[in-house]
């Protein structure tokens, strides 16, 4: 399977982590949102293909309304795709979601996209009145409805989680089909579900070696073939950070990554993390941290090993200062992406 270096695209993802300043003092959530807009502007200026923001409803993340942040970016950028990483579809309404993003697509001149998923947190379920016992059903039915809406045709649909629709038009109409990805974390059933709905796959690889996800990429393509449609794009979303050299990048990221990992770990009953786990992920796992050459080499290996069409770096991982995030974005766009393309041109085929 050949890889065209010019066809692979590169993105940046953020959840809008609430940050600290260079003195270590917490930054208000409102300022974090304004900083994310500045980060998106820089990503556009340095040639990155995609900029995606996640949805959370927690004190450690500032963005609960991705479409609002992206609408702000639509008026301050000119070329970059504006997407989600991810929208929690289970606790949203597919009709309203489509209307919001058809509006964003109009504002941005055709640059909106969606990545939908079940999310890694469950705060939105009680917040918006959805029972957790319906976790699977909500996502399955809402993805089914969203797939119908994406056709742009009047919708006839029925299910158990909302009132049925009959020949219902949705406004404003899109000028094109809205690009929509399904994010999965490694469940075979989720991979097949994305293939069944004929939607591209975004693999969230946040721990361990990327190569272990190769069977999921194969399963996605095999399922699509059996369902009678052609190959669909596959992307990878993984965390990382860039600085001038490996030592600086690791020193900057380590305390924030460990802080973030332990905050979430306490909620989920995980054991404490430390520098040993960080170093293991940086050296052998799914953490793309270092100077430009180190990160470019690792991204190129992942693209080659999995045969993917897109790589998104989750550049914000814990309360890292805005200034360091901006440097990371600039290096990713100006140094890493061109270097990855060079490396792919040197080894264009999967082993």
Is the distance from CB of 156 to CB of 188 less than 8 angstroms?
no
Average pLDDT over residues 217-235: 95
Share of the chain above pLDDT 70, in %: 98
> What is d(CA 146, CA 198) in angstroms, rounded to the nearest whole number?
12
> What is d(CA 22, CA 324) in angstroms, rounded to the nearest whole number?
9
Confidence band (pLDDT; 50, 70, 90) for 155? very high
99 Cβ contact partners less than 8 Å away, ≥ 6 residues apart = 170, 171, 172
| Residue spans of alpha helices (H) in the chain | 29-45, 66-74, 94-108, 124-128, 135-149, 188-196, 214-226, 246-268, 275-284, 292-306, 322-331, 337-346
What pLDDT shows up at residue 349?
A: 52
> What is d(CA 54, CA 65) in angstroms, rounded to the nearest whole number?
9
The closest of 3, 5, 15 to 319, measured between CA atoms, is 15
Backbone torsions φ then ψ of 202, nearest 5 degrees: -115, 110
State yes or no: pLDDT of 351 exceeds 50.
no
Token pair 């699977």 in the structure block, residue:
136
pLDDT single digits (tens) 174-202: 999 999 999 999 799 999 999 999 999 99
Q: Is the dihedral of CA 276, 277, 279, 284 positive or negative?
A: positive
256 Cβ contact partners less than 8 Å away, ≥ 6 residues apart = 317, 318, 319, 320
Give the DSSP H/E element, type plus range, for residue 303: helix 292-306
What pLDDT shows up at residue 2?
A: 65
Distances (CA, A) of 330 to 243, 326, 337: 10, 6, 10
71 Cβ contact partners less than 8 Å away, ≥ 6 residues apart = 103, 104, 107
> What is d(CA 93, CA 95) in angstroms, rounded to the nearest whole number?
6
Rg (CA), the chain: 20
Distances (CA, A) of 52 to 13, 73, 121: 5, 11, 18
The closest of 306, 311, 305 to 339, measured between CA atoms, is 311
Average pLDDT over residues 324-329: 98
Residue that wins the pLDDT comparison between 271 and 180: 180
pLDDT single digits (tens) 113-128: 999 999 889 999 999 9
Confidence band (pLDDT; 50, 70, 90) for 350? very low
Average pLDDT over residues 261-283: 92
pLDDT single digits (tens) 294-310: 999 999 999 999 999 99
CA 351 to chain centroid, in Å, comes to: 27
Q: Which CATH number fits domain 9-346: 3.60.20.10, 3.30.365.10, 3.20.20.30, 3.20.20.80?
A: 3.20.20.30
Q: Any bridge partners for residue 242, and if so which?
A: 290
126 Cβ contact partners less than 8 Å away, ≥ 6 residues apart = 132
Is the distance from CB of 300 to CB of 5 less than 8 angstroms?
no
Average pLDDT over residues 101-112: 98
Mean pLDDT of the chain: 95
């Amino acid at each position: 399977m050949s890889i065209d270096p010019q066809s692979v695209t590169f993105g940046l993802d953020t959840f809008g982590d609430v940050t600290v300043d260079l003195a270590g003092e917490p930054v208000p959530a409102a300022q974090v949102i304004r900083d994310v807009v500045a980060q998106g502007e820089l990503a556009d200026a340095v040639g990155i293909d995609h900029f995606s923001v996640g949805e959370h409803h927690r004190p450690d993340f500032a963005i609960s309304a991705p479409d609002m942040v992206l609408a702000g970016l639509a008026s301050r950028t000119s070329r970059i795709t504006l997407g989600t990483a991810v929208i929690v579809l289970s606790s949203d309404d597919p009709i309203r979601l489509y209307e919001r993003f058809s509006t964003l697509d109009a504002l941005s001149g055709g640059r909106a996209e969606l990545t939908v998923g079940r999310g890694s947190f469950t705060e939105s379920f009680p917040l918006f009145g959805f029972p957790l016992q319906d976790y699977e059903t909500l996502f399955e039915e809402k993805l089914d409805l969203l797939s119908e809406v994406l056709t742009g045709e009047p919708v006839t649909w029925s299910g158990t989680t909302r009132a049925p629709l009959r020949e219902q038009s949705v406004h404003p109409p899109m000028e094109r089909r809205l690009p929509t990805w399904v994010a999965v974390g490694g469940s075979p059933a989720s991979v097949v579900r994305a293939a069944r709905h004929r939607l591209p796959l975004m693999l969230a690889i946040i721990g361990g070696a990327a190569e272990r996800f190769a069977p999921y990429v194969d399963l996605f393509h095999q399922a699509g073939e059996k369902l009678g449609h052609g190959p669909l794009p596959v992307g990878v979303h993984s965390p990382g950070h860039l600085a001038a050299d490996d030592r600086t990048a690791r020193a900057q990221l380590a305390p924030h990554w460990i802080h973030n990992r332990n905050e979430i770990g306490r909620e989920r009953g995980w054991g404490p993390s430390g520098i040993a786990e960080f170093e293991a992920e940086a050296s052998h796992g799914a953490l793309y941290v270092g100077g430009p050459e180190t990160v470019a080499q690792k991204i190129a290996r992942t693209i080659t090993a999995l045969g993917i069409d897109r790589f998104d770096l989750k550049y914000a991982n814990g309360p890292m200062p805005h200034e360091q995030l901006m440097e990371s974005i600039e290096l990713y766009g100006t140094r890493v992406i061109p270097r990855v393309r060079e490396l792919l041109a040197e080894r264009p085929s999967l082993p």
